[in-house]
Chain A
């Protein structure tokens, strides 16, 4: 296949970026989207140009590193796949593909397609844990947890922290990400003792990082590669309200 790429190039956070156009003549359907970028980079290096910087690591859809905004959609045209799991068979010969970084105030661009998502780590530090030191635990089966609850907690815990939900949202809200963690721990008995404190702390940190408000448009969940459900947001809102009432 022949593919034309319009790729966002930006030297560093302070620089102004712009789109550059590149043509690739030998793209195979079996390539992943990132392998196509490998080919592009190889071509750029051979031409004496600087390759495109983008985040990636596992290339299996699980680490949450890859983060390309492809033709106006985070992680591209297919639902429930990450950029690294997107294959070129989802495109046609002659396609023009526009690739940008995540755009959000809380995710500043570092270079080209790579953004700084450390705000997510800080939200986790604010409360995304159970306070249990190593060695404090009781025998694992002393705490039976019904399968349905365990499965639901697992679904929430499947979030890969990629930030596509933020990139998809017109307000750049991080509600889906935060609510997935809040829900996982709120569903489980282990999370109960700190439930109130957790939701307040994580939401406060989310606001402090400059993420926008949630207006329930649902774009986040629609674009989430792990299909994290909107019901997480509903659960977090309930948790937040009741925590707020009790805190007052």
Chain B
């Protein structure tokens, strides 16, 4: 095991580590804070909450995002909810249980110390958001409402209809705009970070490109925080927003930050299936739909074939000819098994020939039973005796509309099919990346002064993230963790004066960025950026997606290398560098994906086990369940870049002192 990686987990019992850390961490006094500048790149949930909180504490903050407003970050699209161990439902939830569920859900590949801290601060997040005016769903009595989410048996998910991410982000954004208005944060929208500047081994600033004028800018910071989100768009098709990218994290990687668990990606089980080659992105149907919907495929192959040929409708298939395969395989959790399990099960049925949709790559998510069930409850509430089925359905549909209306509308808008009357078709799609920049307990990368928070870091979800835990982690990092831990570093840096940006390190970094941009423009090849992105996406999806094997991964590595070479010799980027040039933006991002793609496959090849979202076909039980290898693979892979596409693997050993490691079973 490597000794370079020091996770800096505080000593002491698990439930006291964070408390003790907070009370003993060095503080920066208020006068000094005013002269310390912090750069926050990315203003989604993690970045906006961090930037606002740091500014409230008295630091001078410069924040950056590539959209035209912080309110548009990818976080806005999160639908289902956010977890917190409030135990408002009195169903036995606790900090420990949330901690336990997260470690188990992550298939024992996350760090105990970090995850326990996450569970501890989860409650404060809800308090903070409510205080900001976030309109969470409520019960008639005025109390907050909860729903359950995959992989857990308690109701701990707080939500705002199917727009939880929107409401949380608008809360964080309002806190951020407040600090902008007070002059404590300088906000740079439509700016893309192009590189991290390091001086004497420490992160001291960034090079950013003003996306409207095309000008390169130099910005100094005593510390740099990356909150730039996940890299699911390496697959081209994903549920991520179109602009989500790995560039900031990748540039940091190139400046010495290790990349953690790059192959751990989450494939979400409930997305709208691909409809054709024009498809630019995939749309998630919130996991909360699995609370009430039942997932099935035809039990008989001939029925599946007839459905695919358009000769049979799902509603014509009788109960006994349906295979509710999740309920069949996992009776304890049924439709609520974690995402990786649900996704693989769907793939298994489709690969076996039971898939629906023209492509055969879809399963049903059926609300008929839920509508009837809710209808009965409503009828009882309304004192209706023996209501007929039609009445029940009307009543039930109203309840479903109230709970999931916006999702159902979205489904109909995209597919043209009314999901109240016919089961939805769903299929797994890339959704989230557990991998990311390796960080220690302080959320600092291996580059001193460079931090990574939110989806951009690798930290808390191990090999599989539980639903409603990304919003929790992003806001935990931004509101409650980083603002403390960054003080530990800055308190040693109070004597550093702002470094003028004509320092040679800034000049050199800017020149390098400029050279890459000029190169991209000057290839003047024949193929568009999207051409390469789509091919890359197919390679990674097929070989490093829901299931992987050594042969395919080796091939994928050489395919990605070849594609990368072709990209640099034949990409066409129209226009110039000194103007608003969206193709140039895309080109830079795809160039980085082409390097990351290789590392993902390398990481997947290295990990000779199946865990969480990483399923290696060679390592499975007879029943097709994942086979983890705790003896040899209970570690975090942290990759160090040592040369052009050459990496060194460091391993951070994972120790479980508070949870008994067990095979993850949802049966």
B139 at the interface (CB under 8 A from A): yes
Greatest chain A CB density within 10 A among B124, B139, B175, B181 is at B181
Residue on A nearest B189 in the bound complex, by CB: A118
What is the distance, in angstroms, from A44's C-beta to the closest C-beta of chain B?
Answer: 8
Interface size on A, residues (CB 8 A): 78
Q: Is the CB of B173 within 8 A of A124?
A: yes
Q: How far, in whole Å, are A212 and B226 apart by their CA atoms in the complex?
A: 39
Name the B residues within 8 Å of A154 (CB-CB). Answer: 135, 137, 160-161, 167
B 70-97 to A, binary, CB cutoff 8 A, 1 in contact else 0: 1111101100000000101000000000
Question: What would 4 more interface pairs be, CB under 8 Å, given A85-B414, A188-B133?
Answer: A130-B132, A132-B131, A137-B128, A161-B71
What is the distance, in angstroms, from A9's C-beta to the closest C-beta of chain B?
Answer: 12
B310 at the interface (CB under 8 A from A): no
Which of B124, B143, B528, B582 contacts A53, CB < 8 Å? B582
Q: Is the CB of A62 within 8 A of B76?
A: yes
Residue on B nearest A153 in the bound complex, by CB: B135
A 132-146 to B, binary, CB cutoff 8 A, 1 in contact else 0: 111111111101111
Which of A30, A42, A124 contacts B174, CB < 8 Å? A124
B 152-172 to A, binary, CB cutoff 8 A, 1 in contact else 0: 000000001101011100100
Provide a sorted-by-A list of 28 A–B residue pairs whose CB atoms are within 8 angstroms.
A28-B276, A35-B279, A42-B528, A44-B574, A53-B580, A57-B67, A59-B281, A61-B410, A62-B77, A64-B69, A64-B76, A89-B416, A114-B68, A121-B71, A121-B177, A121-B187, A128-B174, A131-B178, A134-B49, A140-B127, A140-B131, A144-B143, A150-B135, A150-B138, A158-B163, A190-B131, A190-B132, A191-B133
A213 at the interface (CB under 8 A from B): no
B 276-307 to A, binary, CB cutoff 8 A, 1 in contact else 0: 10111101000000000000000000000000
Residue on B nearest A52 in the bound complex, by CB: B582
Q: How far, in whole Å, are A135 and B160 apart by their CA atoms in the complex?
A: 22
Q: Is the CB of B74 within 8 A of A57?
A: yes
Known A38-B530, A124-B177: A150·B130 in contact at CB below 8 Å: no
Which of B52, B141, B166, B174 contacts A134, CB < 8 Å? B52
Contacting B at CB under 8 A, from A130-183, are: 130-141, 143-147, 150-151, 153-154, 157-158, 160-161
Residue on A nearest B178 in the bound complex, by CB: A129
A12 at the interface (CB under 8 A from B): yes
Contacting B at CB under 8 A, from A104-120, are: 110-111, 114, 116-118, 120
Q: Is the CB of A57 within 8 A of B174?
A: no
Q: Is the CB of A28 within 8 A of B74?
A: no
A185 at the interface (CB under 8 A from B): yes
What is the distance, in angstroms, from B169's C-beta to the closest C-beta of chain A?
Answer: 9
B142 at the interface (CB under 8 A from A): yes
Q: Is the CB of B142 within 8 A of A63?
A: no
- Nearest first, the 8 A-B pairs at minimum CB distance are A144-B142, A125-B181, A137-B131, A129-B174, A137-B127, A154-B135, A140-B130, A63-B72
Q: Is the CB of A140 within 8 A of B241?
A: no
A50 at the interface (CB under 8 A from B): yes
Q: How far, in whole Å, are A131 and B280 apart by their CA atoms in the complex?
A: 40
Q: How far, in whole Å, are A45 and B531 apart by their CA atoms in the complex?
A: 11
Name the A residues within 8 Å of B72 (CB-CB). Answer: 57-58, 63-65, 161
A31 at the interface (CB under 8 A from B): yes
Q: Is the CB of A150 within 8 A of B133?
A: no
Q: Is the CB of A145 within 8 A of B242?
A: no
Name the A residues within 8 Å of B212 (CB-CB). Answer: 110-111
Q: How far, in whole Å, are A184 and B170 apart by their CA atoms in the complex?
A: 12
Residue on A nearest B53 in the bound complex, by CB: A134
What is the distance, in angstroms, from A171's C-beta to the closest C-beta of chain B?
Answer: 23
Contacting A at CB under 8 A, from B41-83, are: 49, 52-53, 56, 67-74, 76-77
Q: Is the CB of A30 within 8 A of B275?
A: yes
Name the B residues within 8 Å of A161 (CB-CB). Answer: 69, 71-72
B180 at the interface (CB under 8 A from A): yes
Q: How far, in whole Å, are A160 and B243 apart by their CA atoms in the complex?
A: 18
Q: How far, in whole Å, are A200 and B663 apart by their CA atoms in the complex?
A: 60
Q: How far, in whole Å, are A139 and B129 apart by their CA atoms in the complex?
A: 11
Q: How far, in whole Å, are A50 and B572 apart by their CA atoms in the complex?
A: 11
B 616-630 to A, binary, CB cutoff 8 A, 1 in contact else 0: 000000000000000
Q: Is the CB of B68 within 8 A of A116?
A: yes
What is the distance, in angstroms, from A73's C-beta to the closest C-beta of chain B?
Answer: 17
Residue on B nearest A128 in the bound complex, by CB: B174
Greatest chain A CB density within 10 A among B72, B173, B279, B479 is at B72
What is the distance, in angstroms, from A128's C-beta to the closest C-beta of chain B?
Answer: 6
What is the distance, in angstroms, from A204's C-beta to the closest C-beta of chain B?
Answer: 12
Which of A28, A50, A118 contacts B574, CB < 8 Å? A50
Q: How far, in whole Å, are A227 and B128 apart by their CA atoms in the complex?
A: 28
What is the distance, in angstroms, from B430's C-beta to the closest C-beta of chain A?
Answer: 15
What is the distance, in angstroms, from A75's C-beta to the closest C-beta of chain B?
Answer: 12
Q: How far, in whole Å, are A50 and B181 apart by their CA atoms in the complex?
A: 37
B583 at the interface (CB under 8 A from A): yes
Residue on A nearest B141 in the bound complex, by CB: A144
Name the A residues within 8 Å of B124 (CB-CB). Answer: 135, 137
A55 at the interface (CB under 8 A from B): yes
Residue on A nearest B170 in the bound complex, by CB: A157
Q: How far, in whole Å, are A145 and B140 apart by their CA atoms in the complex?
A: 9
Which of A60, A81, A146 contacts B283, CB < 8 Å? A60
What is the distance, in angstroms, from B31's C-beta to the closest C-beta of chain A?
Answer: 19
Name the B residues within 8 Å of A125 (CB-CB). Answer: 177-178, 180-181
Q: How far, in whole Å, are A48 and B525 apart by their CA atoms in the complex?
A: 10
Known A121-B189, A130-B174: A147·B69 in contact at CB below 8 Å: no
Q: Is the CB of A12 within 8 A of B133?
A: no
Known A134-B128, A137-B131: A60·B410 in contact at CB below 8 Å: yes
Residue on B nearest A61 in the bound complex, by CB: B410
Name the B residues within 8 Å of A215 (CB-CB). Answer: none
Q: Is the CB of B126 within 8 A of A38?
A: no
